[in-house]
Chain A
Amino acid sequence: MTDNLLPTGLPRIDLLEMRGVVKRFPGVLACDSVDFDIKAGEVHALLGENGAGKSTLMKILYGLYRMDAGEILLNGRPVQINTPTDALKYGIGMVHQHFMLVDTLTVAENVALGLKSSRGPLLDLDKVEARVAELSRVYGLQVDPKAPVWSLPVGVRQRVEIIKALYRGAALLILDEPTAVLTPQEVDELFITLRRMTADGHSLVFISHKLREVLALSDRISVLRAGGLVGTTRNENITRHELARMMVGREVLLDRNKAPVKVGETLLSLNDVEAYRVTGTRALYNLTQELRGGEILGIAGVSGNGQRTLAEVIAGLREVRDGNVSLLGTDITKWGIDKRIEAGLRYIPEERMHDGVIQDFSIAENIILQDHVRKPFSRGIFLDFKAIARQSQKLVDEFRVKTPSIDTPIKSLSGGNIQKVILAREISNAPKVLIAAQPTRGVDIGATEYIHERLIEQRNRGTAILLISEDLDEVLALSDRIAVLYEGQIMGVVDRQDTNAEALGLMMAGVRQENLVEMKAADR
């Protein structure tokens, strides 16, 4: 291999610098004169909470946003990047957090999209397919160029995204939260690929809010907070705690100690439940599970393995085709939603903005959504606005929701504060069973810490909590027991203290608990 050339035959980017980048959105300073640079063969992590400006900064580099001030230098020469086409021309590619793939098209078609064809106006898919196959061999990214994207698992779709960027000649690759949708093993695989790429001379920007992964992969780390650069440091010189402090701006509690609680009786049980998604595909297969008072049962699993249907089946939003659900020993399979709420079942939905609140309603109106027909919020057919205001104000104060008033439309709040309102609404009535689906997704560390604290508090007072989360760290931090969901079936249920991320990761990839033991035995 020639020096300074990548395996794709293109030159590497020895140094890329962003200087004094400023970006304003209406009412927000998203980037406040940020400096950032990256060298060939290096992984430079951008760490920060949601809304810290990481993605904005990189979208500027990729030409999706224009900066209000600042400059970009490529190997010391200033360059203008106004569109993704410009960025690709300079060898800058991006893998977005939400994959930018057209799922009705094949892998090769997705790669060819927007590119010139060697046959003029006609597509040259044969050539594209051959080149994709070659790239996937050179970089160890297994993928079938003819497969339609909808048929591919998430991990493979990510490979397609990387190949797409390489095909376009990316020497520098921006990866926006690439591990969010992967199992721990898939993350390991991805990291191997990425290390191979840097060894070959690629430059990688790794955007993340996960401290562990940033420390595992990066050469250098830049921390952003509220649009400003807090600092850039070499990986060797810093610990996880120091990074967390830079990210949040104060001390944070990373590992949580839970006092043991005496587990109560079974409050919720699912027996042989079978259910389908809206699309008609089967989501849950003969699922049987019990949930007891005073415990947090974590449901681990990669997104799309039936978690959402599971939550909806319990909440009463989705029909149970076979089997039954019972609450406090009563069969509630045929019950409506309101009756379940009345009986003490509460639900924090994963799609906060869509299922959790009515965006244009005020905080107070959102707080009484389920309970507006009940005392004290209504008398006969009339709402009691004094009682509503009293309760709303009480919850806003108690849960430390940052808002100008209880009459503020909820959509103008930050994600963390909206989630606090939902949490307040769902736990203020002392629920017996609480379903918490992705309770901290997209929420900043501070609010996450607070939400976790309140969930544990509920557990301690005897609530049965079903915690559904795709964030394995969260499941490990909060749960007393952990069940792993894979393709609508439970692969195994383990006590928190008897397991680790590796074992859970294997189950998340479809290995049953009993086989896990055999695999361990075979290791010895």
Chain B
Amino acid sequence: MFNELLQSSVLIGILYSGIRLAAPYLFAALGETVAQRAGVLDLGVDGIMLMGSFAAFYVVFETGNLWLGVAVAVAVGALMGLLMAVISVTYQAEQGISGIGLYLFGLGLSSLLFRVMIGSVKGVSGFPILRIPVLSDIPVIGEIFFNHNILVYLAYLMVPVIWLLFDKTTLGLKIRAVGHNPEAADSLGVSVNRVRYFAVIFGAAMAGLAGATLSIAQLNVWQENITNGLGFIAVALVYFGGWRPLGVLLGSLLFATVNALQLWVQVKGINIPSDLAVMLPYVLTIFVLIFASGRVRQPAALTKPFERSG
């Protein structure tokens, strides 16, 4: 098995899959990073992704228009985010519980809509591979990095975009301040709740986009619970990444690559129980979180609703 793994074509294949599979994690985890940096833990990511992936799939199934599918997924994600923001920011409900509620809502509603509106498992033709001219001709590198569909490129583009948002914009400064010391931000006339609404809705829109990536750019089908807990992994990746875009990128790549490896092991029919192989990335997550805890500094006001006090 190991000899085979070390063949260059197999390695390239696994790395290629790793890059590709990281895309939905990136969208979801970067979005969640924005929400958490503003102080809101949105555990509903998986439910939002389910709704986004279904919405994108349905639109493409009916119209064949891929970009319309993406737009609708983003809009549906944003709506779910609005719901989360109303519950957790305005009504100050406990964030962990409301997030789980939002997840269950998304899981149930997407399954119901699927049964009513589509009924059986069908496929669509998703985003095609977009070979980047010249770059994709570089041996090995071109094969691994420049031979993907456009949503994959977009996911990686979001890493510097989010970094710029945090470090170079006034909005990013507000987000960081609101997540760390909302009283201070409030005393300077920053509307804590408005910033948090933006962050939660933005994060959820990204989760919607992550869902669309699954259903119309990777799997090109839709089934109930298509995300299979991917949204929860994305939340873990935010912790792993230390609330920084670059850390989230590393985490997503690591996780997706292990996942790709696991898929290859399954496909090869190597003598490991497939359930064990499927568990591998999740076990890795747990270990990584044990390592990450205590090492990184989380936003001090994370999960704490803001209320002006006397």
Listed in ascending order, the chain A residues whose CB lies under 8 Å from chain B are 25, 55-56, 64, 83-85, 88, 94, 96, 98-105, 109-110, 112-117, 121-123, 164, 168
Contacts and interface: CB of A to CB of B under 8 A. Distances in A.
Given A88-B189, A110-B184, A116-B170, 16 more contacts: A55-B310, A83-B189, A94-B187, A100-B184, A102-B177, A102-B185, A103-B181, A105-B173, A105-B177, A109-B173, A112-B173, A113-B188, A114-B177, A121-B169, A121-B170, A121-B171
Contact of A122 (B168, B181, B184): B168
Contacts of B177: 102, 105, 113-114
A113 B168 contact: no
A246 B170 CA distance: 48
B310 A25 contact: yes
Contact of B181 (A55, A102, A121, A164): A102
Contact of B189 (A102, A103, A105, A114): A114
Contacts of B308: 64
Contacts of B268: none
B140 to A, nearest CB: 38
Given A117-B170, A121-B169, A123-B170, A104 B187 contact: no
Contacts of A104: 176, 180, 297, 300
Nearest to A30: B310
Given A102-B176, A123-B168, A113 B310 contact: no
Contacts of A102: 176-177, 180-181, 184-185
A100 B187 contact: yes
Interface string B190-203: 10000000000000
B224 interface: no
Nearest to B189: A85
B183 interface: yes
B148 interface: no
A168 B310 CA distance: 24
Contacts, number: 74
B20 interface: no
A121 B185 CA distance: 18
Sorted from nearest, which 5 A-B pairs have the closest CB atoms? A85-B189, A114-B188, A100-B184, A114-B190, A100-B187
A498 B108 CA distance: 77
A103 B176 CA distance: 11
Interface residues of B, number: 23
Contacts of A103: 180-181
A10 B308 CA distance: 30
B169 A123 contact: yes
Nearest to B308: A64
Contacts of B190: 113-114
24 contacts: A64-B186, A64-B187, A84-B188, A85-B189, A99-B184, A100-B188, A101-B181, A102-B176, A102-B181, A102-B184, A102-B185, A103-B180, A104-B176, A104-B297, A112-B170, A113-B173, A113-B184, A113-B188, A114-B189, A114-B190, A122-B168, A122-B169, A123-B170, A168-B188
A111 to B, nearest CB: 9
Contacts of B188: 84, 100, 113-115, 164, 168
B183 A100 contact: yes
Given A94-B187, A114-B189, A100 B181 contact: yes
Contacts of B186: 64, 84
Kindly name the residue among B168, B171, B181, B300 whose own CB sees the greatest number of chain A CB atoms within 10 A. B181
Which of the listed residues A100, A109, A116, A164 has the most CB atoms from chain B within 10 Å of its own CB? A100
Contacts of A101: 181, 184
Nearest to B167: A123
Contacts of A109: 173
A96 B177 CA distance: 17
A99 B184 CA distance: 8
Nearest to A64: B308
A117 to B, nearest CB: 5
Contacts of A96: 187
A101 B300 CA distance: 13
A114 B169 contact: no
Contacts of B310: 25, 55-56
Nearest to B300: A104
A168 B190 CA distance: 14
Given A64-B308, A102-B180, A102-B184, A113 B174 contact: yes
Contacts of A100: 181, 183-184, 187-188
A285 B180 CA distance: 31
B170 A122 contact: yes
A112 B185 CA distance: 11
B27 to A, nearest CB: 22
Given A105-B177, A121-B169, A122-B170, A113 B297 contact: no
Most buried by A among B171, B181, B187: B187
Contacts of A88: 189
Contacts of A168: 188
Nearest to A124: B170
Nearest to B301: A102
A85 B189 CA distance: 5
